[in-house]
Amino acid sequence: MNLYKSFITSFLLVLISCNTTTKTIESTKEKNQKMEEKNMITEGFVAGEISFSKVEGDCPITIKIEGDNGTYYYDPINLTEEYKKEGEKIWFKFAGLRRMNRCVKASPINITEITKRN
C-alpha cells in the first residue's frame, strides 16, 4: 500500500511540475512578445498584417492596421514577393506618397523597412 501511495504522490508531483513549466514557458513567450512590440514601436515600426482582396476597385494587396481609431489600410507600392502572403504579420516603416490612390480604402505608401512579426 505504501508503494502505491508513493507512486501516486510521485505521479502528481511530476504532473504539477509539468504544468508549472508549461505556464512558465507561456509567460516567458508573452513577455518576449511584449518586449519585442515595445522595442519595435520605439524604433518607429508599425505593426501590420498583409491582406488580399478580389473586390473590384480594391487594391489587390494592402497592409491592414488595427489602430486606436479602428482599422485602416495602406497600399504598399514596393512590397516584395517575400511578404505577399495573406495574413503575414509584419513590422514596417514607411513614407507616405503624394499621389493619387489606386483604390478607395487604402493610402499609397513606400515601405522603407520591413520584417516579419511573431
Buried b vs exposed e over 8-33: b needs ≥16 C-beta within 10 Å? Answer: eeeeeeeeeeeeeeeeeeeeeeeeee
pLDDT digits (tens, 9 = 90+) for 77-97: 999 999 999 999 999 999 999
Q: What is the DSSP letter of 16?
A: H
**Which SS3 state, helix, strand or coil, does residue 45 take?**
coil
pTM score over 0.75: no
**CA separation (Å) from 18 to 10, 22, 25, 40, 56?**
12, 6, 11, 33, 52
> Confidence class of residue 65 from pLDDT cuts 50, 70 and 90?
very high
**Which SS3 state, helix, strand or coil, does residue 92 take?**
strand
